[in-house]
Amino acid sequence: MGGKFRARPGCVVQAYKFALDPNAGQERALRSHCGAARAAYNWAVSWVTASWWQRKAEATYGIGEEELTPWRPWSLPALRKEFNRVKSTEARFADWWQENSKEAYSTGLANAAAAFDNYAKSKQGKRKGYRVGVPRRKPKRKARLACRFTTGTIRVEPDGRHVTLPRLGTIRTHEPTVKLLDRIQAGTARILSATVRHERGRWFVSLQVETAREITRVARPDAVVGIDLGVKHLAVLADSSGEIRYEPNPKHLDGALKLLRFHSRRVSRRQGPDRRTGQKPSKRWEKANRERNKLHHRVANLRTDALHKLTTRVRAEYGTVVVEDLHVAGMLRNKRLARHVADAGFGEIRRQLTYKGRRNACPTIVANRWYPSSKTCSNCGATKAKLPLHVRVFDCDECPLVMDRDENAARNLVALAAACTTGTGVAGDQGADTAPKPRGADRKTRRQRPGRNTGRGGRAGGASLPHQRRKETGDRRQDTEAQPALW
């Protein structure tokens, strides 16, 4: 089907995701493959950790280190070799392992190998982020249904409405696959793998494709935009030409809360499942639960659609985008803000802006987490020591500027892009706030006068250098400036 794929220097790997409409038999096969992946994962976790517990028990008997049970490896080749040895004899696999593709078991073993690698790197301090614990078995009621195919027959059918997967056969898609089919027939795309997943009440297939993508020129390649995310307004955009744009927050979850409360009360009044007593749910409970889940899925789909439209529109217009490094996990610990922050999707906005910028070869600048964009005056550069969240208007103490705090923050983010390239302006003089604190000092913002920290209004004046300011204030810290991350 189509011409032969011709690799080009501009080839990228991207995914094409389509909803599926499987029949009853195909859905049973999909669930069987995903269950096989979960069973292989649980077997790998149990097989590796069994040697850990055995060594721990032997150590209590006074057995020397040399005589302890050897560690079992968790690399993918080792797990595959051991699994192929025991799959025909072990009781949990002997009767049904032949019903599914070998790719289902490879999916579970690969996930287990990655989980143990993440745990080892986290324990050794080689992995960023939160501490990763020992991999645990996946319970059937909570595990996400997913399976990945890397070999076998994976193709998009010429009719544009079906995909073919190994052992699953030809499955109808809910939406046309013409977008990918045209690239494959033109010889500019090649399918690498396919992943089936059950989420939001539907089955999806994600086809990982190597394709030749041409760089699309944005409408204003020299323009810079600073984006301040918030709850009142989803985003406040300030560009280098001085234009300000407010993006309203759709608040999809807030609009559905009244109906969600009604459905939740109806579900709670019917006979649901109880694992302690083995009680099965009634038909009326299952029907009510489906209606409630359908509403949750609709809210999630609306949110995803709105975020994609926003980020695509921004990336198609501006050449450089400046965003903040928000501590979203910390915001979710605030019980008064958690629901609104989660509904806004701050982390997803930054992720989409970053990868969509790579498509057009446009940079994304991420401001330092401790950069006081809301507390700094965008006119004179003075910095407030405190600015509570309930104060929505920024009133500068040094100049007559009175402005919405979100608009002021967006203007400061635009200045950050200029500071990255020229080394001047408000954003370039944040070394005093971002330098290492060997004595354990806090990260509180100190009040700064405009003469010490010039902004866009004082950029032409004689701004003092960072090491000169430290000498005047008697600060002995190293002359270290925190550079924002640039992709």
How confident is the model over 92-145, as pLDDT tens digits? 888 888 899 999 999 999 999 999 999 999 999 999 888 899 999 999 888 999
Q: What number is the average pLDDT over the span 468-483?
A: 39
Look at 16-20, 75-79, 465-469 and tell me which has the smallest mean pLDDT: 465-469
Quick one: pLDDT band at residue 421, thresholds 50, 70, 90?
low
Q: What number is the average pLDDT over the span 179-207?
A: 94
Residue 27, CA distances (Å) to 145, 203, 327 in order: 12, 9, 40
CB 160 within 8 A of CB 174: no
Q: What number is the average pLDDT over the span 460-480?
A: 38
Check pLDDT > 80 for residue 38. yes
pLDDT tens digits, 161-171: 999 999 999 99
Check pLDDT > 50 for residue 475. no
Check pLDDT > 70 for residue 213. yes
Q: What number is the average pLDDT over the span 65-92?
A: 90
Q: With the CA atoms of 374, 376, 377 and 379 taken in that order, what torsion angle do they form, in degrees rounded to the nearest 10?
A: -110
Active site positions, annotated: 228, 324, 406
Which among 331, 400, 412, 414 has a CA at the least distance from the CA of 375? 412
- Phi then psi for residue 34, to 5 deg, are -65, -35
Quick one: pLDDT band at residue 1, thresholds 50, 70, 90?
very low
Check pLDDT > 80 for residue 10. no
414 versus 451: the higher-pLDDT residue is 414
Strand order in the sheet with 233-239: 244-248, 233-239, 220-229, 318-324, 364-367, 485-486
pLDDT at residue 417, as a whole number = 83
468 versus 14: the higher-pLDDT residue is 14
pLDDT at residue 7, as a whole number = 55
Check pLDDT > 60 for residue 220. yes
Look at 265-269, 320-324, 457-461 and tell me which has the smallest mean pLDDT: 457-461
Check pLDDT > 60 for residue 470. no
Check pLDDT > 50 for residue 4. yes
pLDDT at residue 463, as a whole number = 38
Neighbour-count burial of 140, counting CB atoms closer than 10 A to its CB (0-12 exposed, 13-18 middle, 19+ buried): exposed
Q: What number is the average pLDDT over the span 177-188?
A: 92
Check pLDDT > 70 for residue 485. no
For CA atoms 366, 370, 375, 381, the dihedral sign is negative
Check pLDDT > 50 for residue 473. no
CA distance 166 to 106: 13
pLDDT at residue 398, as a whole number = 85
* Reported pTM: 0.79
Q: What number is the average pLDDT over the span 57-85?
A: 90
Look at 41-45, 103-107, 272-276, 453-457 and tell me which has the smallest mean pLDDT: 453-457
pLDDT tens digits, 336-380: 889 999 999 999 999 999 999 988 889 999 998 888 888 999 888
- Phi then psi for residue 75, to 5 deg, are -70, 155
Tokens 């992943």 locate to 195
pLDDT at residue 8, as a whole number = 60
**Three-state secondary-structure class, residue 193:** strand
**DSSP letter string, 320-363:** EEEEE---HHHHTT-TTTHHHHHHHTHHHHHHHHHHHHHHTT--
If one counts every other C-beta atom within 10 angstroms of the C-beta of residue 237, the result is: 24
pLDDT at residue 457, as a whole number = 41
Quick one: pLDDT band at residue 453, thresholds 50, 70, 90?
very low
Q: What number is the average pLDDT over the span 19-43?
A: 95
pLDDT at residue 443, as a whole number = 58
pLDDT at residue 212, as a whole number = 84
pLDDT at residue 236, as a whole number = 93
Q: In this structure, what token pair is assigned to residue 235?
A: 């985003």
pLDDT tens digits, 235-247: 999 998 888 999 9
Residues 6 or more apart whose CB falls under 8 angstroms from that of 224 comprise 239, 240, 318, 319, 320, 321, 322, 414, 417, 418
**Three-state secondary-structure class, residue 71:** coil
Quick one: pLDDT band at residue 19, thresholds 50, 70, 90?
very high
- Phi then psi for residue 17, to 5 deg, are -110, 130
CA distance 67 to 463: 69
For CA atoms 201, 203, 208, 212, the dihedral sign is negative
pLDDT tens digits, 289-312: 999 999 999 999 999 999 999 999
